[in-house]
Chain A
Amino acid sequence: MPTTAHTLTDAAASDSTLRRFLHGLPGVDAVGLEARAASLGTRSIKTTAKAYAIDLAISMVDLTTLEGADTPGKVRALGAKAVHPDPTDRTAPATAAVCVYPDMVATAKQAVAGSTVKVASVATAFPAGRAPLSVKLADVREAVAAGADEIDMVIDRGAFLAGQYMKVYDEIVAVKEACGTSARLKVIFETGELSTYDNIRRASWLGMLAGADFIKTSTGKVAVNATPANTLLMLEAVRDFRAQTGIQVGVKPAGGIRTSKDAIKFLVLVNETVGEDWLDNHWFRFGASSLLNDLLMQRQKLATGRYSGPDYVTVD
């Protein structure tokens, strides 16, 4: 791990220093990482701790709909659900945000008006990221102008895998600038396409150096999405980054998290790796859609003692 602030400020000075810095990061012990993630997943969380974890997880959900078939009606329904996840129990907390495509931002904004729920928009030619920079930036500006509170950008995986780190860096910096001061920037690495844990660590540092407010695992559009291991790796990166720079960066696993049990495992990872500072929806999010229903069913089970069923949550 680089030890001085000096190396960090110089890291992005040029293509070669950035490459030297990223390749100078220590290699990831893949077996150890997976074993650590698996062992933290065996914690048993029960009763009041479970109730707390479920409510916390609900408050961290970025309720997402990213389909070609999204209609304004569906986005409005999603917004209503984000504000009051369980219409039969108003003590259920609101979710953190709704996450939509840029053209749906205005609709989503209306749907959550007056609540704490934020509107996140994917941008930069999501999910492939294969578009000229000017198009990506226009995409971001449109979303911000429409009122998006958060922008989820995808990095150019092609450039990253080709070793053109500076190109990726510059793109993130440009997008961050386009976000202005009003929108927080989440940078999606699409870890399923980065092939190795070393690459995920490099991408994490690259994203944070370029000014990401959040680093996010995946788009949810490829075969491998968020896993406990790659999320643990990214949590370690944000922990080390804060230790060196004092800057706190959020983490958002996305895709493939469907059950309360999974969500609670991620919360254990957060607590054990970066601590309570991140146990807040300002710093940790779940990118998910079906997860919320399972959390609500578990919540109903805890409240009533009866197992709940899909007839008692909304179908979206």
Chain B
Amino acid sequence: MSEKSENNRLTVFKTYKLYVGGKFPRSESGRVYEVTDSKGNWLANAPQASRKDARDAVVAARKAFGAWSGATAYNRGQILYRIAEMLEGRRDQFVREVADAEGLSKSKAGAVVDATIDRWVWYAGWTDKIAQVVGGGNPVAGPYFNLSTPEPTGVVAVVAPQDSSFLGLVSVVAPVIATGNTAVVIASEKAPLPALSLGEVLATSDLPGGVVNVLSGRTAEIAPPLAAHQDVNAIDLAGADDVLAKELEIAAADNLKRVLRPQPVDYTETPGIDRMTAFLETKTVWHPTGALGASGSSY
């Protein structure tokens, strides 16, 4: 191909789409909104999800919950690590998108993407270790065992951070799914592109469809129906401002959702296990050791 014809090539723009149930639909409403970089230059049109898209995403997340929470922790770890591998291969694209979205230099954006990939690896390691840390055998005075194990809460709605469009996003999504929850994520309103591209990575990382669902649009429009949804078990308010967070918390009280309130977080630091334990429930079982023989034990 001659150089001239390459220069004349028409630009192929990317159509950003939602990621719901392992598929890439447009918004049911047909709406899009303009996404600009930090200087106000147009980048792309992102789908503007409606409450019906949110409802569909919850259905997908609920459907995926059984298999994902039932998968072995080891398997979940493998898949989370696979996400890191896939991200590594598309590093350049994410560096560009993060640089545009957050107004960072190439090298700073590169550092953010590297930190994000490492975050997946970090949580991949935690999947089969969290149970030993927050669960265990309880001492009892009798012929039985008493065991506590952490269990995933269910479908978690995640309002992703508004400013940290990629590292922040992964820092709130990874802990939710690492422990077996499924997630409906509302991407950063003004910088949704890295989140929507992440959907493409998740779709090719052996992550079952529906475990993570990514919506973009007006946070104040999509979040309230999710907070009030009777089939959502928990909500992470990381990206909600004070007024919205209060409204969402009130709506969430109706079916006793677990609520993680927004708090100041430095996403570049090692996260700790708080975000994982926020969406775990502890199940305690009593297990008889068997009938006692004359010698005091059946063993």
Contacts and interface: CB of A to CB of B under 8 A. Distances in A.
A305 interface: yes
A307 B232 CA distance: 9
Q: Which of B55, B62, B231 has the most CB of A within 10 A?
A: B231
A290 interface: no
A312 to B, nearest CB: 6
A157 to B, nearest CB: 35
A309 interface: yes
A259 to B, nearest CB: 10
Contacts of B254: 306
B148 to A, nearest CB: 24
Contacts of B225: 306-307
A307 B62 contact: no
Could you tell me the dominant secondary structure of chain B's interface residues? helix
A308 interface: yes
Interface in A284-316: 300, 305-312
B230 A308 contact: yes
Contacts, number: 27
Nearest to A312: B230
Q: Interface size bucket, B side?
A: 10 to 19
A305 B228 contact: yes
Interface in B248-274: 254
A309 B230 contact: yes
Contacts of A305: 228
A309 B228 contact: no
B229 interface: yes
A260 to B, nearest CB: 13
Nearest to A309: B231
Contacts of B58: 307, 309
Contacts of A312: 230
Interface in B37-58: 55, 58
Interface string B207-228: 0000000000000000001001
A306 B58 CA distance: 13
Nearest to A310: B231
Interface of B: 55, 58, 62, 225, 228-232, 254
Given A307-B225, A312-B230, 20 more contacts: A305-B228, A306-B225, A306-B228, A306-B229, A306-B230, A306-B254, A307-B55, A307-B58, A307-B228, A307-B229, A307-B230, A308-B230, A308-B231, A309-B58, A309-B229, A309-B230, A309-B231, A309-B232, A310-B231, A311-B231
27 contacts: A300-B230, A305-B228, A306-B225, A306-B228, A306-B229, A306-B230, A306-B254, A307-B55, A307-B58, A307-B225, A307-B228, A307-B229, A307-B230, A307-B231, A308-B230, A308-B231, A309-B58, A309-B62, A309-B229, A309-B230, A309-B231, A309-B232, A310-B62, A310-B231, A311-B230, A311-B231, A312-B230
